[in-house]
Amino acid sequence: MISQTAEYALRAVVFLADRADVPQTTQQIAKVTCVPAGYLAKVMQGLRRAGLVAAQRGLHGGFTLARPADELTVLDVVRAVDPLPRIERCPLGLSGHQTLCPLHRRLDGAVALVEKALSESTIAELLTEPKRGKGPKPLCSLTSSDG
Amino acid sequence: MISQTAEYALRAVVFLADRADVPQTTQQIAKVTCVPAGYLAKVMQGLRRAGLVAAQRGLHGGFTLARPADELTVLDVVRAVDPLPRIERCPLGLSGHQTLCPLHRRLDGAVALVEKALSESTIAELLTEPKRGKGPKPLCSLTSSDG
């Protein structure tokens, strides 16, 4: 439902949140998130342009979150790289229709529901949640392959 | 959020529901729903295979709904041609993860919300609703270009 780009951006942001203020290179992020490095580099540029991550150059450079993880929602990340398309006018292209027909009102309403749900989870919550239960770690793999 | 194929299938089904039991040809449906006829022909075959529409051959042949519109939900139509992808296992491909991580639980939960919302509207409701208000007719164009 969200795009591949948005999915990859979320994995990267969750990983950066878990690493707090320690910069992570594209290669490090790519390895843990299982995203091809070339694709990930573009995703990271999108996140940087949107102000969600900061890039530091140099020997110990890399990406860090530009905002606290508890002030960053899942929806913020999706919107930064590939927003969910809302239906704002008649998709049949008919002029003169100021309001949506019942079908397209329903479909747009469903998108609104998703936006609301994704706005209710912060990235910080995704990190802390598994500590309360027996579920896997955030992003499944954070403990195993990130060295 | 739903695919183009699902959007086109919904337009076609709403139109057929509005025409009740009078068969409509692919050309007639294509004109009103603003869907390219070749694309629509494939969508209609998908709906026929799924048992949602019936095809009648001959001079006055065409497609009709195979079920009453009040027993057919928006979700039924979407599922017939292009179901929303649920997240059933770790998208990072990690073996041994029997449950989803918090991120993917949230994303799958959003898909479930959409399915629930779309299952709560029948096609019949989409037709009757505008009669209660000042909104456009079902599918916006049903009154103008379907002759």
Which tens digit of pLDDT belongs to each residue from A74-121? 999 999 999 999 988 878 776 655 678 889 999 999 999 999 999 999
Q: How many CB pairs below 8 A link A and B?
A: 135
The pLDDT value given to residue A90: 78
Q: What is the pLDDT of residue B95?
A: 62
For chain A, the domain total comes to 1
Q: Which residues lie below 8 Å from residue B138, measured CB to CB, with a gap of 6+? A: A101, A102, A103, B14, B18, B126, B127, B129, B130
Q: Answer yes or no: is B8 within a domain.
A: yes
CB B123 within 8 A of CB B72: yes
Using CB atoms, which residue from B97, B101, B129 is nearest to A138? B101
Higher pLDDT, B62 or A146: B62
Q: At residue A141, does pLDDT exceed 60? A: no
Q: Is the pTM above the cut of 0.95?
A: no
Domain residues for the domain of B19 are 4-83+122-132
Is A147 within a domain? no
The pLDDT of residue B98 is 65
Q: Model confidence at B146, in pLDDT bands (50, 70, 90)?
A: very low
Domain membership of residue A97 (yes or no) is no
User: Chain B closest CA to A60's CA: distance in Å?
Assistant: 27
Does A15 map to a domain? yes
Whether B116 is covered by a domain: the verdict is no
The whole-chain average pLDDT of chain A stands at 87
Q: Is residue A89 part of a domain?
A: no
Lowest pLDDT segment from A22-31, A79-88, A135-144: A135-144
Instruction: Using pLDDT thresholds of 50, 70 and 90, give the confidence band for residue A147.
Output: very low
Average pLDDT over residues A25-46: 96
Selected for mutation to probe chain B from A2, A5, A76, A107 (highest B CB count within 10 Å) is A107
CATH of the domain at A62: 1.10.10.10
For B87-116, what is the mean pLDDT? 84
Asked whether residue B143 is assigned to any structural domain, the reply reads no
**Closest partner CB to A99 (pick from B102, B111, B135):** B135
Amino acid at B79: R
A74/B139 Cβ within 8 A:
no
Of the candidates A109, A114, A136, which has its C-beta nearest B101's C-beta? A136
Asked whether residue A80 is assigned to any structural domain, the reply reads yes
- Substitution target from A16, A92, A123 for chain B, most B beta carbons within 10 A: A92
The helix (H) or strand (E) run that includes residue B65 is strand B62-65
Per-residue pLDDT at A132 = 44
